[in-house]
């Protein structure tokens, strides 16, 4: 039996395969790029006789096998406590779920939550600590909250005269820069700094920028050391060995995340509560769309949007445009708004915090073209790129 496909569909599939081949050729293997945590001798000599706290989660591994907490304990380092960000130390909590402090069952170490009542270590938390290590995998999008946790940890260290050592890790979205730059009035935990949605920096470079641009309270400076990566450049496409949070299970989701997280400020589901979160978008009522999915309660998404309700929309699991175009994709946001019947209910109050301004929402409502929306970002993006250059530790990508 012959299966006939349209010429347009054939060309799309061919282009997708070519993009995947280019991606495979550009990508370095995990073993070729060494994280800051892998460069153990660089930081062990700095902490050998110190009381240490570690800000980390399930991504803080050495050689993709040994967790940094276990490694340090094995080497006789005096680890006093663990500071846990959003999703917790083991990385299984829902997005936005308030976390309680407690003890790690495996090591017996106290865990202090930095997501819930307190985003920032207080003086009592740091009283018995000399040095704070920061080892968390970022994904390079402004609204991914680990850079906000970094900000508050830097601020706490500056206030309490503690040294901070950031163990750098690759940015899987570090090969481009795009999106509106956050405006001060839209500052929140999902966006604390005047940077675009995709900022093209590792977390170590970002820490240097926070310090250098005096973004900490009262323009304080943190006593900061960055343990750099080996064999990394911003043109590399890096496949994460461990999922950075429950709803980013693979690189497809990570590449789509900068575009799809904007939907969290709408009534459109991004697939939380499915086996493919941040790889689909949809909502009830769009029955003219052939693809459908039904969110259910799952670990990491106990109460997903449109729980147990059939949603219709886009299946993006084979989409490669983030890699090929090096841009966030606005088409799905703009098109799903056009298809919505009750447009006044499409956006919620969270959208401007994610976008970083009130302009993007109004541009979508007014039907401004994608080309003109992008032009409205250009001036701020060029200013940011000049700031960014000052803090780069690795070879940059070519635009």
Chain-centroid distance of CA 173 in Å reads: 9
- Tell me the three state secondary structure of residue 258: helix
DSSP-derived secondary structure letter, 94: P
Chain-centroid distance of CA 125 in Å reads: 26
CA torsion sign, 20 to 23 to 25 to 30? negative
Closest CA to 171 of 388, 335, 318: 388
| 202 CB burial (10 A radius; 0-12, 13-18, 19+) | buried
pLDDT lower than 70: segments of the chain: 1-31, 64, 87-88, 90-101
| Confidence at residue 27, expressed as pLDDT on a 0 to 100 scale | 46
End-to-end CA distance of the chain: 46
- pTM equals 0.90
| Confidence at residue 12, expressed as pLDDT on a 0 to 100 scale | 39
| Confidence at residue 305, expressed as pLDDT on a 0 to 100 scale | 96
Closest CA to 202 of 244, 233, 245: 233
Q: CB within 8 A of 73, min separation 6: which ones?
A: 79, 107
Residue with the two structure tokens 């280019």:
22
Residue 320 near residue 19, CB atoms below 8 Å? yes
Helices 251-260, 331-339: crossing angle, 10 deg rounding: 60
Would you state the structure tokens that stand for residue 21, as one six-digit string?
Answer: 């081949």
Residue with the two structure tokens 């604390």:
192
Would you state the structure tokens that stand for residue 307, as one six-digit string?
Answer: 């729980």
Residue 270 near residue 260, CB atoms below 8 Å? yes
Angle at the Cα of 301 from the Cα atoms of 295 and 307, rounded to 5 degrees:
30
**Largest pairwise CA distance in the chain:** 73
Residue 162 near residue 130, CB atoms below 8 Å? yes
Q: CB within 8 A of 237, min separation 6: which ones?
A: 23, 26, 27, 28, 172, 175, 323
Residue 327 near residue 255, CB atoms below 8 Å? no
């Amino acid at each position: 039996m012959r299966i006939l496909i349209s010429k347009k569909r054939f060309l799309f599939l061919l282009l997708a395969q070519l993009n995947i081949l280019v991606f495979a050729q550009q990508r370095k293997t995990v073993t070729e790029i060494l994280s800051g945590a892998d460069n153990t001798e660089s930081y062990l000599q700095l902490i050998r006789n110190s009381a240490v706290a570690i800000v980390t989660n399930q991504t803080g591994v050495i050689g993709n096998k040994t967790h940094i907490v276990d490694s340090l304990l094995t080497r006789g380092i005096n680890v006093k406590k663990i500071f846990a960000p959003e999703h917790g130390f083991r990385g299984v909590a829902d997005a936005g779920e308030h976390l309680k402090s407690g003890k790690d069952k495996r090591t017996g170490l106290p865990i202090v939550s930095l997501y819930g009542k307190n985003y920032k270590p207080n003086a009592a938390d740091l009283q018995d600590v000399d040095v704070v290590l920061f080892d968390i995998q970022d994904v390079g999008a402004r609204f991914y909250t680990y850079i906000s946790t970094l900000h508050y940890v830097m601020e706490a260290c500056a206030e309490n005269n503690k040294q901070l050592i950031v163990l750098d890790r690759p940015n899987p979205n570090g090969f481009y820069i795009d999106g509106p730059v956050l405006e001060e009035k839209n500052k929140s935990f999902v966006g604390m700094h005047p940077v675009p949605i995709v900022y093209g920096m590792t977390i170590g470079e970002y820490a240097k920028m926070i310090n250098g641009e005096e973004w900490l309270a009262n323009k304080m400076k943190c006593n900061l050391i960055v343990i750099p990566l080996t064999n990394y450049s911003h043109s590399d496409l890096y496949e994460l060995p461990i999922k950075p949070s429950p709803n980013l299970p693979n690189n497809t989701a990570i590449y789509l995340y900068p575009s799809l997280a904007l939907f969290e400020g709408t009534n459109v589901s991004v697939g939380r509560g499915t086996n493919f979160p941040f790889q689909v978008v949809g909502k009830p009522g769009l029955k003219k769309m052939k693809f459908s999915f039904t969110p259910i309660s799952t670990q990491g998404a106990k109460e997903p949007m449109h729980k147990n309700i059939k949603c219709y929309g886009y299946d993006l699991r084979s989409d490669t445009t983030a890699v090929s175009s090096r841009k966030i994709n606005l088409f799905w946001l703009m098109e799903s708004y056009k298809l919505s019947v009750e447009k006044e209910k499409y956006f919620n109050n969270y959208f401007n915090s994610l976008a970083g301004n009130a302009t993007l929402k109004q541009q979508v409502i007014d039907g401004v073209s994608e080309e003109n929306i992008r032009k409205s970002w250009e001036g701020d993006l060029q200013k940011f790129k000049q700031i960014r250059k000052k803090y780069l530790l690795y070879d940059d990508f070519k635009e």
